[in-house]
Amino acid sequence: NTGTGLEELDISNNHLSYLFPSSFRIHPRLRDIRAANNKFSFFPAELISTLQYLEHIDLSQNQLKTIEELDFARLPRLRVLLVAHNQLDMLSEMAFHNSTQLQVVDLSYNNLDRIGERTFEGLVRLELLNLEGNKLNELSDSVFERSKLQMLESINLAYNKFDYAPLNALQRQYFFVSSVDLSHNMIKTIPGDDSIMVNIKHLDLSYNPLSDIAVHNILNEPKTVRELNLAATGIEHLEALETPFLQYLNLSANKLQSIDPDVFQRATLLESLDLSSNQLEKLSELAPAWSNLNVLQNLDLSNNSFEVIAQGDLENLNSLQTLHLNHLQNCNRIEKNAFKHTPNLANLEAFDLPLLGYLDLQGILELLPGLETIDLEVKDSTIGTEQIQPAKHPRLKSIGIRGDRLKTISSGSLAGLKSSDLTIKLQNTSLNALPPALLFPVPRSAHLTLDIEGSKVTVLLPQFLNALEDRRSSLQLKGLSTNPIHCDCNARALRRWLPNSHMLDVKCHSPAYLAGKKLIEVGDDELTCDPRKMTTTTQRPTSQHMLKSSSRLVTRTTTTEEPMIIWSLEPTQPPPMKIKTKAPLMKAPIISNDDTLIIGIVGGVVAFIAILIIIICIVRLRMSNVEYHNAGPPMIGIPPLPLGPGSVPLSYKGAPPATALYAVPPYAAQSYATLPHKAASIHQSTQNLNQRQAQQAQATYSTMSRMSYFGGSQQQQQQQSSSQNGNQPYIIYADDKAYR
């Protein structure tokens, strides 16, 4: 049995603490073993001693304390050994014996305080030796002798305890060593006549308390260095640089107040310059120095004391592609024409400008058509399409908008973006909501990252969440947990959306009774818009105090804020209270705002109908009174008689009351005229009176339809009256006499 053909084995990110020595014996063709982030405190050499094809071993982030002799020896093809972030305090000199192809050794962030002289003996070419983050304070002068180690190209000694640069040990590799990192140590002096400094191409001495002489020896001695980092080394003054091949220079976090124009006279190949976090006061004084930097591409002027960035301050920087103008605490004016001489600018940052009153965002962007990324602090309260104008910047792939004055953003602000990989940053703004159609103009095929860190978004509307859901596979939302989320009824949609988006750390900022709780742990019944709901359903009152007065009774709870129960009059005999120990206390029903609104509307409608009915009754009553008065009072001296069927009261509009007539049936007249001779006389008088009044009424009221009774002849009237009343004649009383 020749074993399996397994070549790669990854057992990282487990809780393994031990492997049997024969665990890999049946996998003789293993090339890559990854066992990082476990709990190994011991790694037996027998595990890998028979793996002649092994090339890569990763044991980072374990608990290894020592590397014994021959642990990683006699492995002819081993090239990479990673043992970073362990607890190593001892490294055997024979640990890598005869592993001749070993090229990368990472021993960073351990507890090593020394390296033996024969530790790297037998190695041919060591591309990278990483000893960062240990406790080394010296290196043996012979540790890198050519007889032991043929070639050392790069060494990292950062974050150790060196108080001098171990240049004697590195001098053994004079022709080969090209990168040395000695940052974050306690080095003060650098010898000026050390020839090893001449051939180093990448030198990092940042965060060391270098003396002025050491700085002079580094900058003013001829060297072939390409990258030089002198950040936070206490530099107060610069002399002319004797580094004609220098391409990258970091002078940040120093004490420079000004720079002479001839400083960069020989550093004409400089491509990146970092002058951030100094004390430079006038940018116009640096303008003459730019004339020597014709190929400068990256410039960082952040965190200085500039007050004005005016036209001409960036002149002669035609090749500039990246410019940082952040954290300018004293800057009060930035002119758009200052960017007139940087037509090739692709990346622009300008934020944290507290004294700046206005930034002409639209004017600046119009001068820079080749922009790819922007991160600017706006001073307007509203951002629209006309300010950013993405359609005029076809290369734009990252938009950053900052500023606490920004409160609204237009839905069309992103219209015109075409990049397949987009980043939208709305950081540290006063936006409390995002427009639902904000992402609508963005191409659906684009991979989008939306960062709202540090803003004031209280809730994401359901329409906006639907847009995010449609882009789930191509959109990443960042920074939501840093916003003051208000957990009310409007946050229910967001709560349902969070679990599928793997954003479980979003917490409620308000109201007070939900502050600090994770939104996904809050129930829908607690996400309410009722302002009187001050407690959750799981809270119970612990004690009550009854305050009783002559006019009201107030109930209060010590642990919760319940609505007060108030009676206008004190009950004369309160009912006995029955306390049940098992049943939970029932809370009084709380009327919500919606119920109150409905009750108010119904009550208003009922009241309106009642008022309308009352008005109609009053109008009809007044109309009846008017008709009554128009009819005239009854005749005086004649007792009221019951009107029989067919009797009609007669009245004349405008006629005197004395002439009012009443037509009654003959049976009524008989009660007053029982004698035959009187009845005949009454009949004759009635006929004569009817003839006179009919002629007068016909002349005066001939146009009234109701007066047709008097319009015809006496015979026609009698016939009509007879036909309507069963041929019974009427008796008419007038002038205290009865007429038939």
The owner of tokens 């108080």 is 163
Domains of the chain: 484-536 (3.80.10.10), 659-701+709-739 (no CATH)
pLDDT in tens, 562-600: 344 333 334 444 444 444 444 443 444 444 455 677 888
635 vs 209, more confident = 209
Name the nearest CA neighbour of 424 among 397, 455, 403, 391: 397
Name the nearest CA neighbour of 249 among 257, 258, 241: 241
Cβ atoms 391, 366 nearer than 8 A:
no
What is the pLDDT at residue 161? 96
Give the model's confidence band at 725: pLDDT under 50 very low, under 70 low, under 90 confident, else very high: very low
Distance CA 649, CA 70 (A): 140
What is the pLDDT at residue 34? 96
Rounded to an integer, the average pLDDT of 559-563 is: 38
Look up residue 124 and give its amino acid: V
Residue 666 parent element (H or E): helix 666-670
Q: Return mean pLDDT, the chain.
A: 80
**Residues forming beta bridges with residue 111, ordered by sequence position:** none
What is the pLDDT at residue 426? 95
Give the model's confidence band at 153: pLDDT under 50 very low, under 70 low, under 90 confident, else very high: very high
CA 170 to mean position of chain CA atoms: 53
Q: Name the token pair of 213.
A: 């002489």
Phi-psi region of 277 (alpha: psi -120 to 50; beta: other; left: phi over 0): left
What is the pLDDT at residue 661? 41
What is the pLDDT at residue 738? 53
Please give the torsion angle defined by the CA atoms of residues 202, 205, 207 and 212, in that order, rounded to the nearest 10 degrees: -140
Phi-psi region of 654 (alpha: psi -120 to 50; beta: other; left: phi over 0): left
pLDDT in tens, 369-413: 999 999 999 999 999 888 888 888 999 999 999 999 999 999 889
What is the pLDDT at residue 556? 39
| 3-class SS shares of the chain: helix, strand, coil, % to 5 | 20, 15, 60
Distance CA 413, CA 439 (A): 9
CA angle 374, 376, 377 (to 5 degrees): 165
Long-range CB pairs of 498-502, under 8 A, 24+ apart, other chains included:
500/472, 501/468, 501/472, 501/477
% of residues, the chain, pLDDT over 70: 75
Give the model's confidence band at 630: pLDDT under 50 very low, under 70 low, under 90 confident, else very high: low
Q: Is the per-residue pLDDT at 225 higher than 60?
A: yes
Q: Is the per-residue pLDDT at 658 higher than 70?
A: no
Residue ranges of E strands in 632-730:
649-650, 661-664
Quick one: three-class SS letters along 103-125?
CEEECCCCCCCCCCCCCCCCEEE
What is the pLDDT at residue 23? 87
Rounded to an integer, the average pLDDT of 509-523 is: 92
Per-residue DSSP letter, 249: E
What is the pLDDT at residue 191? 83
What is the pLDDT at residue 663? 41
Q: Is the per-residue pLDDT at 419 higher than 50?
A: yes
Contacts of 605 (CB under 8 A, 6+ apart): none
631 vs 360, more confident = 360
665 vs 456, more confident = 456
Q: Is the per-residue pLDDT at 701 higher than 50?
A: no
Distance CA 96, CA 83 (A): 13
Name the nearest CA neighbour of 693 among 658, 646, 641, 727: 658
- 102 class by beta-carbon count within 10 Å (0-12 exposed, 13-18 middle, 19+ buried): buried
Q: Is the peptide bond before 531 cis (omega within 30 degrees of 0)?
A: no
Distance CA 259, CA 249 (A): 14
The owner of tokens 């206008």 is 568
